[in-house]
Amino acid sequence: MSEGENTLYPVPARLHDASQCPEPYVKSVEQYKEMHRESIENPEKFFGKLANELLTWSKPFTTVKHGGLEHGDAAWFLDGQLNASYNCVDRHAFADPNRVAIIYEADEPNQSENITYGALLRDVSQLAGVLRARGIKKGDTVAIYMPMIPEAVIAFLACARIGALHSVIFAGFSAEALRDRVQDAGCRLVLTADQGKRGGKTIETKRIVDEALKACPSVETVIVCQRTGADVPMTPGRDYWWNEETSKRMTYLTPEPMSSEDPLFLLYTSGSTGQPKGVLHTTAGYLLGAAATVKYVFDYHPNDIFACMADVGWITGHSYIVYGPLALGATTVLFESIPTYPTPARYWELIAKHKVTQFYTAPTAIRALRRLGDEWVEGHDLSSLRVLGTVGEPINPEAWHWYNDKVGKGRCAIVDTYWQTETGSHIVTPLPGAIPTKPGSATVPFFGIDLAILDPVTGKELVGNDVTGVLAVKKAWPSMARTVYGNHQRYLETYLKPYHGFYFTGDGASRDGDGYIWIRGRVDDVINVSGHRLSTAEIESALIMHHSVAETAVIGAPDDVTGQCIHAFVCLKPGISQHSTDLTKELILQVRKVIGPFAAPKKIYLVEDLPKTRSGKLMRRILRKIIAGEADSLGDISTLADPSVVEVLIAKVAKA
């Protein structure tokens, strides 16, 4: 990834022109600084006020903030009660049932559909009724494995309505990955669809669920939504059709009052070990973080059309397709397809067709579209746009400029939003009307985020500007994850213990001379492919399950389009020929089968040996250097058990 540039780009004048744009909520750097200072010095006042402004409570909270990072017991808005589904549906349906909640932009462009808040209230109530009738109670966990159709959003909200936790598993995960996640959470019910549609291709969703459930004894019920109407096998006594079940239920179901700290959902994410973690978010703090960032980071105003291109299976979809926009009563776009289907103009057609005001996507998509040529973006009416967001990885200046010039026509704010599954909502980001931007920098901390850059070795905070270290947060904030499901120890060890008293992000970062934050990427064994987070250990353990594999080392290599891509070094068991042509293909298939297609290695090197120290520790650093073509700066390799492996590996990589 190329270094960013240090030019400051001012807020486009159009954002402050009342004849063209609504007045931004935060209008200047000074106002941002003042609000940020208050949010840190007096979080009780700042977040107490915001929580009453943005959320509706069935019982008011008494204590804004309790506990913190020291003991891993942060809690917000204690004694308060609210329901996330009420906040995202009912109150807007009561105000205006005809307001559009969801614009469903289906895989085929001519099949889009609008769902009003009134209809959403009915659909959510009916599905919640189905869950209840099937014995799901407050505190149970429901798995959602669904394509990007309105029923997926309805599924989230139906769970929240009765106080069941949802665990959404991205529909690109394989049967095995789905099985592991369903088992870990002990899910009692699975919400799914017959098939999925994406980029003109059909995905056998129900078949994957059937495969996964062969080993999930906790699952009693499967509710199957008909996306294509295909004839899929149904297991009697376990599987039921969505429409048949919902049609039997009342069109209104009273939402369950939930305490602020009651869990809202689990979302599995990869860490530095092979075992994915069920990150747990609670009701009030999470919802407030999602709503507050839609308001301030996207400068959302009534009647805006909000379009986040992520999948609901990732945290970006949770916070910026579902909870954030709906909590504010916005119209949210649900995009089922891919940016290049049927042509690379799809995004721009979507923006023009629905008059999108906020558009949010990943740098990898921007890079891919930029490569396909400007002609696809030219000639579409993109004048409705005000804020363009990116997420998932740093944006390189070339992509930033293309986004700014070709899509934003220099009249839109660009917000490079840095955050994580665990943070729940943005933690470092510009605000459209206030913060001048620098291409490649996520700029400044959001409200409530007391940011710190630490010396990675001593853990000491590096104060002042022009420093580089690891990125951490000094105080608890409302939308931070509260625990890892079933393993609070792991939560403490991953996030809170590495640097006592701080939340550790796992990312390296710099603060430049102007106080701007630059994210440098993960400092642990996490790889970021197209904004998807994968652990090297997870891919290694998938490969090792193959009968021919003795040992393997997976690393992230730089990639022009996907940011990073996966390279795997594989040592075969004795007697297995390296020259079997199908083996590489088989190994790729193996990863697709165990994790999912998005985790497939781009390159596999079949090798005799890996670089290890005499004590047997794998030297990934050496593999990274070889891949990066920096074999001339390997440093000291004399600690290797067998330094000659290096030459062999260099030759192998050069040939591949």
Q: Which is nearer to ligand WT7, 209 or 557 (CB)?
A: 557
Query: CB of residue 363 vs ligand WT7: minimum separation in angstroms?
Result: 8
Kind plus residue range of the DSSP H or E element containing 464: none
Query: CB of residue 309 vs ligand WT7: minimum separation in angstroms?
Result: 12
C-alpha span between 569 and 572 (Å, rounded): 10
Q: Do 433 and 299 form a contact (C-beta atoms < 8 A)? A: yes
Query: CB of residue 187 vs ligand WT7: minimum separation in angstroms?
Result: 21
Q: Which is nearer to ligand WT7, 276 or 329 (CB)?
A: 276
Q: Which is nearer to ligand WT7, 116 or 505 (CB)?
A: 505
Query: CB of residue 362 vs ligand WT7: minimum separation in angstroms?
Result: 8
Determine whether 39 is exposed, middle or buried from the number of CB atoms within 10 Å of its CB (0-12, 13-18, 19+): buried
**Residue 532 amino acid letter:** H
By DSSP bridging, strand 358-361 and strand 305-308 are parallel
Kind plus residue range of the DSSP H or E element containing 111: none
Count of CB atoms situated within 10 Å of the CB of 360: 24
**Residue 597 amino acid letter:** P
Count of CB atoms situated within 10 Å of the CB of 598: 15
Question: What tokens were used for 228?
Answer: 């294509």
Query: CB of residue 364 vs ligand WT7: minimum separation in angstroms?
Result: 11
Query: CB of residue 254 vs ligand WT7: minimum separation in angstroms?
Result: 34
Q: Which is nearer to ligand WT7, 505 or 536 (CB)?
A: 505
Query: CB of residue 172 vs ligand WT7: minimum separation in angstroms?
Result: 13
Cα 70 off chain centre by: 26
What string of DSSP letters covers 28-97?
Answer: SHHHHHHHHHHHHH-HHHHHHHHHHHH---SB--SEEEE--TTTT--EEEET-EE-HHIIIIIHHHHH-T
Query: CB of residue 520 vs ligand WT7: minimum separation in angstroms?
Result: 8
Any residues with CB less than 8 A from the CB of 82 and at least 6 apart, and which?
A: 55, 56, 57, 58, 59, 257, 258, 260, 283, 284, 287
Query: CB of residue 528 vs ligand WT7: minimum separation in angstroms?
Result: 6
Exposed e or buried b for every residue in 425-446, given b needs 16+ CB within 10 A?
Answer: bbbbbbbbbbbebbbbbbbbbb
Kind plus residue range of the DSSP H or E element containing 391: strand 387-391
Q: Which is nearer to ligand WT7, 193 or 407 (CB)?
A: 407
DSSP state at residue 439: T
Closest to 485 measured CA to CA, from 321, 314, 289, 271: 271
By DSSP bridging, strand 201-203 and strand 517-522 are unpaired
Q: Which is nearer to ligand WT7, 81 or 421 (CB)?
A: 421
Q: Which is nearer to ligand WT7, 46 or 402 (CB)?
A: 402
Query: CB of residue 594 vs ligand WT7: minimum separation in angstroms?
Result: 19
Which residues in this chain contact ligand WT7 in the complex, by CB under 6 A? 269, 315-316, 391-394, 416-421, 442, 505-507, 519, 521-522, 528, 531, 533
Q: Which is nearer to ligand WT7, 136 or 315 (CB)?
A: 315
Q: Which is nearer to ligand WT7, 468 or 639 (CB)?
A: 468
Q: Which is nearer to ligand WT7, 353 or 490 (CB)?
A: 490
